[in-house]
Structure 1
Amino acid sequence: MKSKLSFLLLSLIFYNYAKAQTPPGFKELLDSAMVRDADLKTQQTKNKLTELDQHKLKDVYLPTLEVSGMGGYLNATARIISPELNLEPFLTIPEGKYNNNINVSGFSGLAKADAKMLLYSGGKVKQLSKALQEKRQSENVLLEKTSDDVVAVISRAYDQLALVHQSKKVLDEAKRRLDANRKTADKALGYGLITPYDHKKIELAQATLDSKIVEYEGKKQLLLTQLEVLTGISNDRLQLIEPELTAIILRPPEKTIEQRAEIRALNHGISASDFKIKAEQTWWIPKVQLMASTYYVGLYGNRIKSSNDIIPPIPAINYPGRKLDWRPTNLNIFPLLTTGIGFKWEIFDGKEGKHAIETARIDRELLQIQKYDAIRKLTLNQANNQSNYDIANSQITFRKKEKELANNALIQAEKEFRYGMSKSTQLIEAENDLESVELEYQNAIFNQRRAAIELMRSTQELDINKLY
């Protein structure tokens, strides 16, 4: 058992060590950035509110139970006017002869339990449920756009790092050539073939090149810090990345502007508005619910009395009459149960339902206007991105040809300088020209990649497998 645990521990340590020594690929950078991106997390968190609304809508059909109670002192008086009573020859009482105030006083208690359950909403809940489904799909589609934004940000930082890396290679190659030419200049100076001024020119070119190398190292550290913040991957592993810039060759787009996340989200929003209109149109349909209630009424330490006789005097039998004076220990009613089905039918609601329908229709109209405007802008954006992509491709071709010419010019200048046929000025100029066009060539590839990515985003066809 101990040997197995030791083996697992060593394997884990070796795995972590091997991972720490391996440069992260673009996929790992992107996955880490997706987890940490604040905009994406914020949008996902906000989308949970729609999910909660869906659960709340489903729960309207669940029964509700409410219990309430009350206790206190009761003092109530009822006025009773006696009716006409004719019991000849024993008793004759004209109407209104005896006016009694019946008083009830004491402590009272009341408990009540109400249960309700919606049986039929007039179709409103069904339509609202469909509207929320469309809203949720709209929010999920917008997550695709936010994800593409994260891909664009990480891709740009990664390509900038590649640009710096390639620029460093150009500068290192230029430094190697200048070092070789410096040796040639040292010999030429010793033989008196060049002046000290020409020799200093090469030294100055070397110092200028060294300063450029320091500058690019600073840019590299800044980009590594940016990637570390975006992805959470340690700077030590990011230092191991040695990316290269290659042009992205695209096929004609397979999708249209209609496939953009913004348009699809608006389509779902318009469908949600349609269901919202249908839901509001159910305002006049009766709503039905099941209801049940249970009551408990109790009176404690009470006194029930009358101000006058409740049984009048009966002279025939020599009965003097009697007032009510009753002191029950307690009096309660339980259970008092009611149950049944009730409905609510709004015949006229002061045009509130009509106004709600008009509001939903206006919301739908606004979404249609937004869709129309979005299609126009996205169509123009696609045309602009296509133009930028075509120009970027032509720039690569131009810079590549320019680099070949500059390289041939430098070879010729080196030969002439080596045989004393030209001064160091011409050599340094040729060296600077080649260095400049090589850097411009790398910049052209970087710009072409940016244009290609934006063109893919134009029709929501951004595929990271085409990037690296």
Structure 2
Amino acid sequence: MNLNKVILKMFLTIIAIALPSVITAQQLDPVLQDLIHKGLNKSHQLNSNRIDAEQAQVDQQLAKSVFLPKITLNGSFVRLDDDLTLDENTQNLLMATQKLVIKEAVGLPFNSPFPSNIPLEAIPNLQNKNILKSSVDLDWVLFSGFEASNALKASQHKETSLNYLGLAEKDKIALQIIEAYDKLALVKASKTVLITSEKYLNEQIFYVTKAIENGLATPLSRKKLELAQQQLASKQLEFDHNNILLIEVLHQLTGETRANLRLLEPQLQAFSTDGISTTEKRNEVKALEEAEKATLYQAKMAKSNFIPKVAVKGHYEFIEDDLSLLDPKWFIGAGIKWNVFDGNQSRLKSKKATLESEKYRDRIEEAEEMIALSITKAELSYQSALQNSRIVQKEIELANDTYEMVDKQYRNNLASINDVLDALNDVEKANFKLQESYFNERRAVAEMLHAKGVLSY
């Protein structure tokens, strides 16, 4: 068998291996899935979003804690400049009253002198100058006028919105990693083409060298082949640069070591659109809807400022000795707080929150319009990529047949070396164009899955 035919068949075998087999839309290379999961774990934006969601959970706990009783322990010591007492006339009146009560008790006449052997009680101070107090207070909100419940619901919807934003961010990260991985596969496919082209050129150099020795070709033919070798070396350098750059991109996105990334041998696998006719609401839209609900509850929370609030108040003194004559040892009571007019602050806050919800509604409508447009664009791109793949496959058949024919003509001195090189270049371009077409197919399908909200990884 002709050596050229052997090499051509080997080349076609390599290309056939490199060409993708069709898989279902949701099927990904396990290596790619692992890179995506590592990228999701590494993302600083996702970590920030997770912290924001946890803060919303704390806000919910704060709203619930409004109805928990607040217990406060108090302690104090105060020294006055003097004891607080009644004025002298009042003290004299109280002493005279005490004497009358005692005389009546022992049976003495009203006008009789008071016996000197009977002691009298001193008039107590209203407040001793040394005051030591220790007490406990209870404050318990029984009804917040729906302010706490509206705050709770607003925080719940905010948390849900942040969770949906996290899912949307995950989709973006996954798309970036898939694209970088596919580009690396495309670069690897170009390497296969370059290796095969190098083998072809070496074979042609061998035949040209023999032809020159036999006087059947001129040194100019060898120089043309040397130029083709330089052009091929330039393409190989471009491959090296692209390979390094894509490894750096994947390293930055996933945190995977460069050494492991260099070992990757990804292959382009075409997606099928079977089973992705359904469309689900995008996470971005869900996040906006939840944010809209949160702002509506914020508006209700501001309005509820005018609803009466009910609370219980309690107090207990542990030390009785230093209490004044007017201080109770303990008390408990219930009260109502009714904000009738707050200078329009609640009304303005409610209006501001309502306007914010209207902004979210406009953003939802805009997002839905953009999503519909992106679905149409992705579908058209996919159809164009499919059609281009069919065309390129025909180009490959034609390029292979042409090369085989021109090579035979050249061996029989019926064609020039330029014709052979042009035919070889057409084979190289056609096979790489097919890889590019599959790359475009995958990009279109990935974008379609993302636009329809059914991208999974």
Equivalent residue, structure 2, for 1:287: 309
Equivalent residue, structure 1, for 2:456: 463
Distance 1:389 1:38 in 2: 33
Q: Do the aligned residues in 1 keep the contact of 2:184 with 2:266 (CA within 8 Å)?
A: yes
**Aligned pair in 2 of structure 1 residues 386, 194: CA closer, same or farther (>3 Å)?**
same
**Aligned pair in 2 of structure 1 residues 274, 110: CA closer, same or farther (>3 Å)?**
same
Q: Give the alignment's Cα RMSD to 1 decimal.
A: 3.1
Match of 1:144 among 167, 189, 195: 167
Tell which deviates more after alignment, 62-71 or 368-377: 62-71
Q: Do the aligned residues in 1 keep the contact of 2:39 with 2:254 (CA within 8 Å)?
A: yes
- What secondary structure, in the 3-state scheme, does the structure 1 residue paired with 2:37 have? helix
Match of 1:191 among 177, 191, 214: 214
Match of 2:345 among 339, 352, 369: 352
Q: Which residues in structure 2 correspond to 1:308-327 (within 5 Å)? A: none
Equivalent residue, structure 2, for 1:10: none
Q: Do the aligned residues in 2 keep the contact of 1:296 with 1:332 (CA within 8 Å)?
A: no
Distance 1:30 1:338 in 2: 64
Equivalent residue, structure 2, for 1:390: 383
Q: Which runs of 5+ in 2 are unaligned?
A: 1-28, 98-109, 112-124
TM-score, scaled relative to structure 2: 0.79
1:450 aligns with 2:456: no
1:51 aligns with 2:52: no
**Aligned pair in 2 of structure 1 residues 273, 228: CA closer, same or farther (>3 Å)?**
closer
**Aligned pair in 2 of structure 1 residues 218, 423: CA closer, same or farther (>3 Å)?**
same
Distance 2:325 2:189 in 1: 94
**Aligned pair in 2 of structure 1 residues 291, 224: CA closer, same or farther (>3 Å)?**
same
1:222 aligns with 2:228: no
Match of 1:264 among 265, 275, 286: 286
Q: Do the aligned residues in 2 keep the contact of 1:63 with 1:118 (CA within 8 Å)?
A: yes
- What secondary structure, in the 3-state scheme, does the structure 1 residue paired with 2:361 have? helix
Distance 1:105 1:57 in 2: 44
Equivalent residue, structure 2, for 1:239: 262
1:134 aligns with 2:127: no
**Aligned pair in 2 of structure 1 residues 387, 364: CA closer, same or farther (>3 Å)?**
same
Match of 1:26 among 27, 32, 39: 32
**Aligned pair in 2 of structure 1 residues 352, 185: CA closer, same or farther (>3 Å)?**
same
Tell which deviates more after alignment, 266-275 or 72-81: 72-81
- What secondary structure, in the 3-state scheme, does the structure 2 residue paired with 1:350 have? coil
User: 1:162: how far off?
Assistant: 0.5
- What secondary structure, in the 3-state scheme, does the structure 2 residue paired with 1:182 have? helix
Greater per-residue helix proportion: 2
Greater per-residue strand proportion: 1
User: 1:281: how far off?
Assistant: 3.2
Q: Which residues in structure 2 correspond to 1:97-116 (within 5 Å)? A: 106-116=129-139
Distance 1:197 1:357 in 2: 86
What residue identity is the alignment partner of 1:270?
A: E
Equivalent residue, structure 1, for 2:75: 69
- What secondary structure, in the 3-state scheme, does the structure 1 residue paired with 2:80 have? strand
Equivalent residue, structure 2, for 1:320: none
1:151-187 residue CA offsets vs partner (Å, 9 max, x unmatched): 1111011111100111011111111122222221122
**Aligned pair in 2 of structure 1 residues 79, 352: CA closer, same or farther (>3 Å)?**
farther
User: 1:196: how far off?
Assistant: 0.7
User: 1:142: how far off?
Assistant: 1.4
Distance 2:358 2:231 in 1: 63
Distance 2:295 2:241 in 1: 53
Q: Do the aligned residues in 1 keep the contact of 2:53 with 2:162 (CA within 8 Å)?
A: yes
Distance 1:267 1:241 in 2: 41
Q: Which runs of 5+ in 1 are unaligned?
A: 1-22, 91-101, 301-329
- What secondary structure, in the 3-state scheme, does the structure 2 residue paired with 1:397 have? helix
**Aligned pair in 2 of structure 1 residues 53, 229: CA closer, same or farther (>3 Å)?**
same
Q: Do the aligned residues in 2 keep the contact of 1:106 with 1:299 (CA within 8 Å)?
A: no
User: 1:387: how far off?
Assistant: 2.2
**Aligned pair in 2 of structure 1 residues 109, 332: CA closer, same or farther (>3 Å)?**
farther
Report the number of matched residues: 401
Equivalent residue, structure 2, for 1:40: 46
TM-score, scaled relative to structure 1: 0.77
Q: Do the aligned residues in 1 keep the contact of 2:403 with 2:423 (CA within 8 Å)?
A: yes
Q: Do the aligned residues in 1 keep the contact of 2:282 with 2:453 (CA within 8 Å)?
A: yes
Q: Do the aligned residues in 1 keep the contact of 2:73 with 2:137 (CA within 8 Å)?
A: yes
**Aligned pair in 2 of structure 1 residues 255, 356: CA closer, same or farther (>3 Å)?**
farther
- What secondary structure, in the 3-state scheme, does the structure 2 residue paired with 1:25 have? helix
User: 1:332: how far off?
Assistant: 9.0
User: 1:419: how far off?
Assistant: 1.6
Identity %: 28
User: 1:134: how far off?
Assistant: 1.8
Equivalent residue, structure 1, for 2:177: 154
Distance 2:127 2:201 in 1: 116
Q: Do the aligned residues in 1 keep the contact of 2:74 with 2:134 (CA within 8 Å)?
A: yes
- What secondary structure, in the 3-state scheme, does the structure 2 residue paired with 1:66 have? strand
Distance 1:442 1:331 in 2: 94
- What secondary structure, in the 3-state scheme, does the structure 2 residue paired with 1:61 have? coil
Q: Do the aligned residues in 1 keep the contact of 2:406 with 2:420 (CA within 8 Å)?
A: yes
User: 1:460: how far off?
Assistant: 1.0
User: 1:339: how far off?
Assistant: 1.1
Q: Which residues in structure 2 correspond to 1:196-215 (within 5 Å)? A: 196-215=219-238
Q: Do the aligned residues in 1 keep the contact of 2:63 with 2:149 (CA within 8 Å)?
A: no
Equivalent residue, structure 2, for 1:361: 354
**Aligned pair in 2 of structure 1 residues 81, 72: CA closer, same or farther (>3 Å)?**
closer
- What secondary structure, in the 3-state scheme, does the structure 2 residue paired with 1:119 have? strand
1:362-418 residue CA offsets vs partner (Å, 9 max, x unmatched): 222221122122222222222222222222222222222222222222112211111
Q: Do the aligned residues in 1 keep the contact of 2:144 with 2:310 (CA within 8 Å)?
A: yes
Indicate the structure whose relative CO is greater, using CA pairs within 8 Å and at least 6 residues apart: 2
**Aligned pair in 2 of structure 1 residues 72, 124: CA closer, same or farther (>3 Å)?**
closer
User: 1:210: how far off?
Assistant: 2.8
What residue identity is the alignment partner of 1:42?
A: S
Tell which deviates more after alignment, 102-111 or 212-221: 102-111
User: 1:103: how far off?
Assistant: 10
**Aligned pair in 2 of structure 1 residues 103, 275: CA closer, same or farther (>3 Å)?**
closer
Distance 1:254 1:337 in 2: 72
1:274-295 residue CA offsets vs partner (Å, 9 max, x unmatched): 3333333322322111211124
